């Protein structure tokens, strides 16, 4: 079965590509990238006015299965990923039970192979039951396909435990993904500590709850030599710490989420629980620093922290509702609307920040628009108009911080291993 992607703007910084080109795919593999290509038989897709990118990866999603299938499943979450233009996701281990052993990793791998619309890479827990006390079976999980390790959802409070984890994980060459939050500082906070917490009478989470642990984990990465990836950084101070660490040569990478890039605490005028996330929306100055860090390269990747919840769980008092917003389906459109269409960012940077950056940071296989590579390809219609409504999502989660937004640009087609995961804007299958 041959496929010809005809006349798209093919962008891949890893190949030095940004030109109108054709791509031929055969048996799930890219066989040629070049001008005026033809195929004797097979399917030709007109990609004029489209942007063709190497398959985007979201390395921070919560697929909720096993245990919280009413919020999301591997099937629904990967359909949401395809809808949003991703060909791969890495899923966090805070399921029920926690993904903290080889057999639990295998469950996800097998379920994803059977039902996944895109590729799924499990992230294993660092500590058993994510309790922060005892190492989980890292080696066993690696053997079953875990790519990285994280206790995401909460930080490991003990520096000593973190040190042991980094020392041990280093042996496998995998990155440790840190959720940086000192609970003794964050306490029962639900919004950024400052103007909004004071005005709304809500308990605050100070920026230092994140920054003290970012500083600690960078110091421990320096000590142990373990690869460290910092999840969902939300403050200017955190980025400053990463900038300095990178300058010293520490093996540290970091991600930011679309909601921290495109929303700040000023959005919290009412008590809309879809705007309750952890880390919380920070100040406008923090948001601007994150965007600047993204454009200058301190930030390695955009990851969504896709955190679906059921409607009834979010329809609660602000302090009682769970943290989290969905993100898979709006990320690319938001990046285009706010950064590409406004001339702040190139498509080449998008490919770096949403494909190569995340894949390198979290240890996913590289994807390039190059002969011999698997045909994991994201095709974007940069002029598509998107109105974000509850009905529009493929995810089971409707808890988007961007409900009601009108966005520009949308993935129109997604190929995973040469198979359509998304075609003409419709999720396959």
| Active site residue ranges | 305
Cβ-based nearer residue to other proteins, 133 or 315: 315
Angle between helices 284-296 and 236-248 (to 10 degrees): 30
Could you tell me the smallest distance in angstroms from the CB atom of residue 200 to other proteins?
A: 6
> Cβ(267)–Cβ(280) under 8 Å?
no
Cβ-based nearer residue to other proteins, 317 or 391: 317
Could you tell me the smallest distance in angstroms from the CB atom of residue 158 to other proteins?
A: 19
The DSSP result for 60-126, as a single string, is: EE---TTT-TTT--HHHHHHHHHHTTEEEEEE-S-SSS-S-SHHHHHHHHHHHHHH-SSEEEEEE-S
| Three-class secondary structure of residue 398 per DSSP | coil
Could you tell me the smallest distance in angstroms from the CB atom of residue 309 to other proteins?
A: 14
Cβ-based nearer residue to other proteins, 100 or 264: 264
| SS3 per residue for 194-209 | CHHHHHHCCCEECHHH
Rounded to 5 degrees, what angle do the CA atoms 269, 275, 280 make? 100
Could you tell me the smallest distance in angstroms from the CB atom of residue 316 to other proteins?
A: 6
Cβ-based nearer residue to other proteins, 171 or 199: 199
Contacts with other proteins by CB under 8 A lie at 187-188, 193-195, 197-204, 206, 270-271, 312, 315-320
CA distance 171 to 122: 19
CA 226 distance to own-chain centroid: 21
Could you tell me the smallest distance in angstroms from the CB atom of residue 197 to other proteins?
A: 5
Cβ-based nearer residue to other proteins, 5 or 190: 190
CA distance 201 to 198: 5
């Amino acid at each position: 079965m041959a496929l010809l992607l005809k006349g798209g703007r093919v962008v891949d910084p890893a190949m030095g590509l940004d030109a109108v080109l054709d791509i031929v795919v055969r048996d799930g593999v890219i066989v040629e990238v070049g001008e005026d290509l033809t195929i004797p038989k097979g399917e030709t897709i007109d990609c004029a006015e489209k942007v063709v990118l190497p398959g985007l990866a979201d390395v921070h999603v919560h697929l909720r299965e096993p245990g919280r299938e009413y919020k999301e499943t591997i099937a629904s979450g990967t359909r949401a990923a395809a809808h949003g233009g991703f060909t791969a996701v890495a899923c966090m281990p805070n399921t029920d039970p926690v993904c903290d052993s080889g057999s639990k990793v295998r469950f996800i791998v097998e379920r994803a192979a059977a039902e996944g619309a895109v590729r799924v890479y499990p992230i294993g827990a660092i500590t058993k039951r994510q309790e922060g006390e005892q190492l989980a079976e890292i080696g066993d999980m690696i053997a079953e396909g875990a790519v990285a390790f994280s206790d995401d959802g909460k930080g490991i409070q003990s520096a000593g435990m973190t040190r042991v984890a980094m020392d041990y994980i280093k042996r496998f060459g995998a990155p440790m993904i840190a959720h940086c939050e000192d609970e003794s500082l964050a306490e029962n906070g639900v919004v950024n500590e400052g103007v909004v917490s004071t005005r709304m009478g809500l308990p605050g989470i100070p920026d230092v709850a994140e920054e003290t642990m970012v500083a600690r984990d960078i110091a421990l990465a320096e000590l142990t030599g373990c690869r460290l990836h910092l999840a969902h950084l939300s403050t200017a101070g955190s980025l400053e710490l990463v900038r300095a660490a990178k300058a010293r040569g520490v093996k540290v990478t970091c991600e930011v989420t679309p909601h921290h890039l495109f929303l700040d605490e000023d959005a919290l005028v009412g008590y809309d629980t879809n705007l309750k996330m952890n880390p919380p929306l920070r100040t406008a100055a923090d948001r601007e620093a994150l965007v600047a860090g993204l454009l200058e390269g301190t930030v390695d990747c955009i990851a969504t922290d896709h955190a679906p919840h059921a409607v009834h769980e979010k329809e609660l008092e602000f302090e009682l509702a769970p943290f989290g917003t969905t993100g898979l389906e709006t990320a690319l459109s938001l990046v285009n609307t706010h950064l590409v269409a406004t001339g702040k960012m190139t498509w080449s940077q998008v490919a770096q920040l949403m494909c190569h950056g995340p894949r390198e940071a979290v240890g996913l296989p590289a994807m390039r628009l190059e002969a011999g590579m698997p045909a994991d390809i994201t095709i974007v219609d940069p002029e598509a108009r998107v109105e974000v409504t509850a009905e529009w999502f493929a995810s089971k989660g409707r808890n988007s911080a961007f409900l009601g937004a009108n966005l520009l640009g949308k993935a129109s087609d997604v190929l995973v291993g040469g198979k359509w995961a998304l075609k003409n804007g419709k999720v396959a299958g």
